[in-house]
Amino acid sequence: MTTAATLAPPVRPATKARSSLPWWAALLAGAAAFSGNGAATLNGDEIATISAASRSIGGLWELARHIDGHFLPYYLFMHVWSMAGTSELWLRLPSALAVAVAAGFLVDLGRRVHSTRAGLVGAAVFALLPSVSYYGAFARSYAFAAAAVVLSFWALHRAVERRDARGWVTYGIAVALVCCTHLFAVLTLPAHLALARRDVLARMLPALAVGGVPAAVLGLVGFGERHAISWIPQRGPEVLLKFPKMAAGTTVAGVLLFTVALAGAALLWPRARGWAAALLGWLVLPPVLLLAVSHLVTPVYVDRYLFVTAPALALLAGAAVAALPRFGTAAGVALALLVVGVSVPDHVAVREENGRFENIPWALRVIKAQRDDAIVYGQSQLRAGFEYYADSLMPVDVLKAGDAPAPDGFAYPERPDVAAALEGRDRVWVVWRGTKQEGLADGGLSRVAEVRRAGFEPAWAKHSADLPGLTVALFTR
């Protein structure tokens, strides 16, 4: 008797192996990103994630009404995730998983746009970038944004090829995810318009419009809270020269990959002009548009907002390598090894204790507290990080006026009368974010000035290795 099983075509081993490639790429990228945890301690942004995630839903809403409103979707996710713990590894695991998702979809996107080899090389290069090791082990939403952007381009290709309603619904959902992960991830979406042919425009634009609703809402929220990023300086066009380093996380590999990526776009142009333009737009439009927003609205140019371009950098480099039919495999391996070889110091730096440039455990080791010593924080939100890492007797926090940060931000309520709080003390430790010069100079940090007016003078000060870093200073009467 003939059965359905006998009529079904056999599954070829090559097909099965090819279908498993995205999973292997995801595993490689996720492992590389998670290994970036190393000994690197949480920095202020990650401590802010803990602070936000530990609040009630009502507390999160109150926070979002005043600051970080565009991070609300991520904070809601971390609110649920952190119920299982707030260790460094656990808090950073979602970012590593997001990097894995990005790499998996990057393989299939490369296959769709050019070839399986292009996708594999692109995913491998992406996994081996120092920037991926950094943001893939960082308790913020930047890895989520990169994964959502890769998913949006993959969904766009699928929708254009399938031309059915289901594909465009998936694409609209992917666009919405981009908008929810990070506000400036939307700067990759104009590159989608390179695929806006006349026969797909009628379906693409509504999907973009509906998917972009979260961006409109969060954009209005962010505009109303722009005071929270008043610390960002205005940048000039010269900052674009640093973009390859930012995307890759290292200078030499960044410049090399950017050059190869441009070649990849040129080689892809004859066979897929629209996708060559889309991928190139994904790479170069976000920094240009971010700089434009900085000059037209308010300064917003921060390197980490552009991590979403790293997958495009890697995929275009993969397309360039795949265009070499005879030596493509060898060239892909050579490119991946070269990226690792020239970026070893950057990979090591990412995995050091000070890999996030705000080494609170180092500061705790520097503080040699005696009985009745006091501590004053130059920025009150530093208190959360010190309380997270403190495992021994700390100096008396004389200014602390509450156990929880303010409902509308991350700063803690403090006593205003520094002199009265320090009365009867002979030694006070002052800790601040920034260099020694920034805190000790005339007209520098206000808390330092208040400690001085209370009758104290600096005995010595130490600054951690990298900028902005932390400064620990001992003041005595």
Residue-level pLDDT at 15: 57
- Residue-wise pLDDT for 243-255, tens only, equals 999 999 999 999 9
Residue-level pLDDT at 393: 82
Above 80 in pLDDT, residue 221? yes
Residue-level pLDDT at 468: 83
- Residue-wise pLDDT for 141-159, tens only, equals 999 999 999 999 999 999 9
Separation between Cα atoms, residue 199 and residue 164, nearest integer Å:
12
**pLDDT mean over 335-346:** 93
Quickly list DSSP for 54-99: TS-HHHHHHHHTTS-GGGHHHHHHHHHHGGG---HHHHHHHHHHHH
**pLDDT mean over 286-294:** 97
Least confident piece of the model among 2-11, 88-97, 322-331, 405-414:
2-11
Q: Which two tokens stand for residue 244?
A: 């390859």
Residue-level pLDDT at 228: 87
| Report for 102-106, 224-228, 330-334: range of highest mean pLDDT | 102-106
Q: For 339, what's the count of Cα atoms within 13 Å in the CB-facing half-sphere?
A: 31
* β-bridge mates for residue 253, sequence order: none
Nearest by Cα to 125 from 28, 259, 269: 28
Strand ranges in 270-423 using DSSP code E only, listed in sequence order: 374-377, 396-397
Tokens 């620990």, residue located: 472
In terms of DSSP bridges, do strands 396-397 and 470-476 run parallel, antiparallel, or are they unpaired? unpaired
The DSSP letter of residue 467 is S
Neighbours of 20 (CB within 10 A): 10
**pLDDT mean over 283-307:** 96
Residue-level pLDDT at 164: 87
Band (pLDDT 50/70/90 cuts) for residue 392 is confident
Above 90 in pLDDT, residue 367? yes
Say if CB 279 and CB 209 are below 8 A apart. Answer: no
**Residue ranges per domain, the chain?**
16-350, 360-476
More confident residue, 7 or 165: 165
- N- to C-terminal Cα separation, the chain: 98
Contacts 24+ apart (CB under 8 A), 325-333: 328/117, 328/121, 329/117, 332/117, 332/120, 332/121, 332/124
Say if CB 75 and CB 49 are below 8 A apart. Answer: yes
